[in-house]
């Protein structure tokens, strides 16, 4: 199947700093990618839909100025958590769809201290 | 609006016994339904999907699920559990059918397999 690579897998940052997470489709082009957030022992919640060459579409309740999404090419989307706070600590997962199947990255464990 | 309900947060079985993970969905039209598995601190892997073809869907690793429209259910089963099956399982519905990109996740079921 198709491969989606997410980097980094783990990151620890200080409160107030920004963190960038990359999501790459390795063997296919993805005009649309998706960013999810997963709290411990909870399900995945869609944060935003990343569209290549245009603005991302954010779900209700997600702050677009805090979670900056850039989809500059057909194989790369980035999520930047700006001015991170401990409550932003979570597991972030991206996905891209190919032929009606969604392929997920390995996820990024973000810890804000 | 689409929604998915996973009826059990935890299921515990002995190795070699059958597995049943329950899922009910709500949809205003013919849904696309999926089961994903997530191992600790890992991404998600597709087990199987229903896309309005055969109602009994066979997936990887011996899993299968049956789409029952009358019961609005899509339960996941496996005849014999293996230790490596221990993981979190998510039932997922696609918002808008195959043409849509939005996936709506159930709350998840953690499968524990006892030796």
Please write the tens of the pLDDT for every residue from A19-71. Answer: 999 999 999 998 889 999 988 778 889 999 998 888 899 999 999 999 999 99
Tokens read off for A84: 């991170």
Partner-chain residue, chosen from B41, B42, B101, that has the shortest CB–CB distance to A49: B101
pLDDT of residue B95: 66
Query: How many beta-carbon pairs under 8 angstroms link A with B?
Result: 51
- For residue B83, give every residue at least 6 positions away whose Cβ sits within 8 Å of its Cβ, in sequence order, or none: B15, B113, B115
pLDDT of residue A40: 79
For the cut 90, the answer to whether the pLDDT of residue B96 exceeds it is no
CA distances from A60 to A34, A63, A110, B68, B100 (A): 15, 8, 22, 32, 18
Instruction: Sort out which chain B residues have CB atoms less than 8 A from A44's CB and list them.
Output: 44, 90, 105
Q: What is the pLDDT of residues A77-89, one digit of tens each?
A: 999 999 999 999 9
State CA B73 to chain mean position distance. 10
pLDDT of residue A113: 96
Q: Which residues of B touch A (CB under 8 A)?
A: 32, 34, 36, 41-46, 49, 51, 90, 98, 101-108
CA distances from A61 to A35, A75, B13, B80 (A): 14, 27, 38, 42
Min Cα–Cα distance to chain B from A107, Å:
5
pLDDT of residue B100: 57
Adjacent-strand bridge partners of B37? B45, B89
Min Cα–Cα distance to chain A from B107, Å:
5
pLDDT of residue A78: 96
Contact A34, A50 (CB under 8 A): yes
Question: d(Cα A65, Cα A62) in Å, to the nearest integer?
Answer: 9
Q: Cis bond leading into A8, ω under 30°? A: yes
Task: Give the start-end residues of each E strand in chain A.
Answer: 4-7, 10-13, 19-25, 32-38, 44-51, 57-58, 67-73, 76-81, 90-98, 101-104, 108-112
Min Cα–Cα distance to chain B from A51, Å:
11
Instruction: Sort out which chain B residues have CB atoms less than 8 A from A100's CB and list them.
Output: 32, 49, 51, 98
pLDDT of residue B110: 95
- Which helix (H) or strand (E) segment holds residue B102: the answer is strand B102-105
Min Cα–Cα distance to chain A from B77, Å:
20
CA distances from A45 to A39, A92, B13 (A): 9, 10, 28
Residue of chain A whose alpha carbon sits nearest to that of B88: A41
Instruction: Sort out which chain A residues have CB atoms less than 8 A from B34's CB and list them.
Output: 102
Question: Is A43 in contact with B107 (Cβ distance < 8 A)?
Answer: yes
Min Cα–Cα distance to chain B from A42, Å:
6
Mean pLDDT of B71-93: 96
Partner-chain residue, chosen from A4, A32, A45, that has the shortest CB–CB distance to B101: A32
Q: How confident is the model at residue B29 (pLDDT cuts 50, 70, 90)?
A: confident
């Amino acid at each position: 199947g198709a491969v989606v690579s997410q980097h980094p897998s783990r990151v620890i940052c200080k409160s107030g700093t920004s963190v960038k997470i990359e999501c790459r489709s390795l063997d296919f082009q993805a005009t649309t990618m998706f960013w999810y957030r997963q709290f411990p022992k909870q399900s995945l919640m869609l944060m935003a839909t990343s569209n290549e060459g245009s603005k991302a579409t954010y779900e209700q309740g997600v702050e677009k100025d805090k979670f900056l999404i850039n989809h500059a090419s057909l194989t790369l989307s980035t999520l930047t958590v700006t001015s991170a706070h401990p409550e932003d600590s979570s597991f972030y997962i991206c996905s891209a769809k190919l032929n009606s199947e969604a392929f997920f990255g390995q996820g990024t464990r973000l810890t804000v201290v | 609006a689409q929604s998915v309900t996973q009826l059990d947060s935890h299921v515990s079985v002995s190795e070699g016994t059958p597995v049943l993970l329950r899922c009910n969905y709500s949809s205003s039209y013919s849904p696309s339904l999926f089961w994903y598995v997530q191992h600790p601190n890992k991404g998600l892997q597709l087990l199987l999907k229903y896309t309005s073809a055969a109602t009994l869907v066979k997936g990887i690793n011996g899993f299968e699920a049956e789409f029952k429209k009358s019961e609005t259910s899509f339960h996941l089963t496996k005849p014999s559990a293996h230790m490596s099956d221990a993981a979190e399982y998510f039932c997922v519905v696609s918002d808008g059918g195959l043409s849509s990109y939005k996936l709506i996740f159930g709350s998840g079921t953690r499968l524990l397999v006892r030796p």
